[in-house]
Every structure is written in structure tokens, then in C-alpha cells.
Amino acid sequence: MTAPGPQTTAEQPWPVRTVTRKIADWINRLGAVWVEGQVTQVSARPGTATAFLTLRDTSADVSISVTCSTQLVRGMEPPLTDGSRVVVHGKPSYYTGRGTLSLRVDEIRAVGIGELLARIERLRRLLAAEGLFDPRRKRPLPFLPRTIGLITGRASAAERDVLTNARGRWPGAHFRVINVAVQGTTAVPQVMTALKTLDADPDVDVIVIARGGGSVEDLLPFSDETLCRAVSACGTPVISAIGHEPDTPLLDHVADLRCSTPTDAGKRVVPDVAEETQRIRQLRDRTRRALHGWVDRERRLLDALRSRPVLADPLTPLRRRSDEVNALRDRGRREIKSLVGTEERAQSAIRARLT
């Protein structure tokens, strides 16, 4: 049996304030509850302390208004957006002034894919704090690797894309391919075993880990902490080519080079033979022009030197100097002869006095 309703009559009705107060009292007795739903609207304006959102039922056309602190919304990882599935903890509140029901929330948790993303984000922060994403840890890739290690799914589009694009750029590119599971529970141990094998091969100069796109769950192995640490500790440079452009598993941050797709990895792991041939041709032409320019400059310098009078007739200065020498010699002879004559006359005078 249902409890008897309040005793009111048309002659003795309750005022609105009484009804709203009684509804509020009953709702307040409900206490705090956990509620699951999908976020459809988020309003967290800068400078305001309270955020507003709408939580709708995923199976019925029912929704409820939610209020919480702006800090709680901004601290969500991944960010809270329309469509996010969440579980919230809060207390229903009935605002008597407007006669509206809302849920005052003090905790928000992501569920489903949101929970996976939140877990990945926590691991990302941990690895970043340890310095595993530091650009200074990145190893340079070889210009032309002797052997390229490729870890990918068997007969996959990713394998075909890497091989086709790499060999299209450099036909002599040599690969050592190890096929592994690229999703599911066996993916991480198989990828790590392949990584260890290729890292121990002295002929392998670079390792590519590639797979096509997929859901967050499909790509989850490539955000595994153990695998990320193994790649960071690897002695051989590693290229991550997981998924498509929007996909960014944690492996992308740890690897020495992140490629947006397997096709991109195939293009970046080796040089383009046509481009290198053109570059060599350009360098050869530039060297030839530089050499011809140097020869022309030296020829002009030599012609300028040859045109100088001293080089055109090198004996002229010698003849001029010879004339000067002859003149000085004649002058010296005259002076010596004059001096000798003077001395002879002096001796004769002295001899005459003595006799």
C-alpha cells in the first residue's frame, strides 16, 4: 500500500513554497549517489568557480543537470567533452526558488574508452616525468641502413606499405621482417621478443614497428609500459608507425622517430635514390662551376701580372741599374785619381823641402 497523501483540499491548499520545501526535504534525504551517463553539454567558463553540464541516460531520453567545481572539470584526463561516458558521485539537490532538480557532483570518473584514455594519460605523465620522452634521448637515424628491422602483422597492409614505399625510394633496401600479433593479449610479449631479436642483430641499423589504424582498444598494446621502457632501452634506433595521423600511442613519444603512418615510415627510413642522384648532379655542377670560376680568376690575375712593364721587359730595370753603376764607377775613378794626384803633389813638396 502507498502512504496516504498529504491532507489538502481545494479549500485548504498548500502554497507553492510548502510543496517545494517538502520536495526538497524528501530529495535531501536521498543522500549521495553514484550515477552513470553520457555528457551532452559542458559549460566551464574562465573565471567562474562553478561548471554546468548535462548528463543523459544512454538508454532512454532522460537527462539531469549537473553542477560541480570548474577545477574538477578542467582536471579531467582525458578532457571532458560532449559524448564522454562518465560515472559521477554527487547529491541530488532541489532548488526551491526555481523548482529545478540538479546533481551536485564532487567526483567524476571516465568509463569505457574514457577510462582507457585516462589510464594512458596517467602512464604518459609518469614516463614523461622520468624523462623517457626527452628529445635529448632520441638517437639519430642512419642515412642508409644496411638492414631495416620491421616488426608488423603478418601479410598486413602496414607491412606492404613500408616495404613498397621504402623499395620505391631505394630499390636496394634490405629488410628483416618479423611478423607478430599487433593487438590482443599476445601482442606485447611478441613485439618485445621481436624487438630484442632485432636489437641483437649487428646488421640491423634501424627498427620499424608498424601497424594500421584501429580503435583505442586495438592500439592499447602500443601504450604498454613494459614495451615503452623496452624501446627506450633499445640500442638500435626505433621508428614508431602506429595507426593513422590522429592516433598517438605512447610508443610514438618514446621512439626515436614518430611517423604518422606506415607509408610515412617507408618514405623516411631510406633516402630517395632519385633525389640523391639529383643532389649529386647538382653538387657536381656546382663544383665544376666553382673550378671554372677559380681558373678564370687565376688566368685574369696572370694576364694582369704579365701586362705590367716590369714583367713585359724585365731587362729594362737591369739596364737602368747598369748605367747607374757605370756612372758611379767613373765617378769613383775620377775621385780616386784626383786624390792620388793631390797626395803625389804633397809628397813632392815635402821631398823638396827636405832636400
Helix, coil or strand: residue 117: helix
Residues of the chain with pLDDT under 50: 1
Q: What is the pLDDT of residue 232?
A: 94
78 upstream amide cis, omega within 30 of 0: yes
Q: What is the pLDDT of residue 114?
A: 66
Q: What is the pLDDT of residue 87?
A: 87
Q: What is the pLDDT of residue 268?
A: 94
Question: What domains are there in the chain, each with its CATH number?
Answer: 16-111 (2.40.50.140), 135-271 (3.40.50.261)
Grid cell in block for residue 273: 635514390
Angle at 276 between CA 160 and CA 210, to 5 degrees: 25
Q: Are 166 and 270 in contact (CB under 8 A)?
A: yes
Helices 187-200 and 225-233, packing angle to 10 deg: 10
| Cα–Cα separations (whole angstroms), residue 27 to 96, 102, 238 | 11, 10, 59
Q: Mention every residue, 6+ apart, whose C-beta is less than 8 A from residue 34.
A: 87, 88, 89
Q: What is the pLDDT of residue 355?
A: 73
Q: Are 269 and 146 in contact (CB under 8 A)?
A: no
Q: What is the pLDDT of residue 258?
A: 94
